């Protein structure tokens, strides 16, 4: 079975036989898959009236467990955005009634961001939709192949995920 990457690699091998284009065989496919996954994510979230960034914040709070709250700093760590961006996101989610700000009992100047019932419900439904989309994407792979692929991708991404800062 030939795909677009096979055609791209063949063209480069013809045009630049002096270069080893083997990395393209893996990473161009990863890049193309990322674009397809981004579209699937956006569709799954849009069906529940959410943007990808909203889903990221809501699910970070949901994964924290009851009472589904984190400090803005903890949310920064989990969503990899700047402080100013997070403040803006919390403001927007608060206006939509998906999160609420509460005083932090352990820090008089601090706040906690808590998921509302509506935020939890919308995030849970969007997650179920996303998982259905992702199961469909992976349907061509056996359980063993999915496990093998997950292990290989973990090995490839772990160094990036474990870089300090």
- DSSP tag of 103: E
Please give the pLDDT value at position 160.
82
- Given pLDDT bands bounded at 50, 70 and 90, which one contains residue 161? confident
Q: What is the pLDDT of residues 46-73, one digit of tens each?
A: 999 999 999 999 999 999 999 999 999 8
pTM of the model: 0.82
Q: What is the pLDDT of residues 111-158, one digit of tens each?
A: 999 999 999 999 999 999 999 989 999 999 999 999 999 999 999 988
DSSP 108-164: EEEEEEEE-HHHHHHHHHHHHHHHHHHHHHHTTS-HHHHHHHHHHHHHHHHHHHT--
- CA atoms 11, 15, 17, 21: torsion sign: negative
């Amino acid at each position: 079975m030939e795909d677009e990457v096979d055609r791209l690699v063949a063209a480069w091998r013809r045009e630049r036989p002096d270069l080893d284009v083997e990395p393209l065989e893996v990473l161009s496919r990863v890049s193309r898959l990322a674009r397809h996954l981004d579209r699937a994510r956006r569709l799954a979230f849009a069906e529940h009236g959410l943007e990808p960034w909203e889903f990221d914040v809501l699910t970070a709070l949901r994964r924290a467990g009851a009472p589904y709250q984190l400090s803005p700093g903890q949310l920064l760590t989990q969503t990899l955005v700047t402080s100013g961006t997070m403040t803006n996101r919390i403001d927007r989610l608060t206006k939509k009634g998906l999160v609420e700000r509460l005083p932090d009992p352990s820090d008089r100047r601090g706040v906690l961001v808590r998921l509302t019932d509506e935020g939890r419900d919308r995030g849970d439904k969007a997650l179920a939709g996303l998982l259905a989309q992702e199961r469909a994407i992976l349907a061509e792979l056996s359980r063993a192949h999915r496990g093998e692929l997950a292990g290989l991708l973990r090995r490839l991404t772990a160094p990036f995920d474990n870089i300090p800062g």
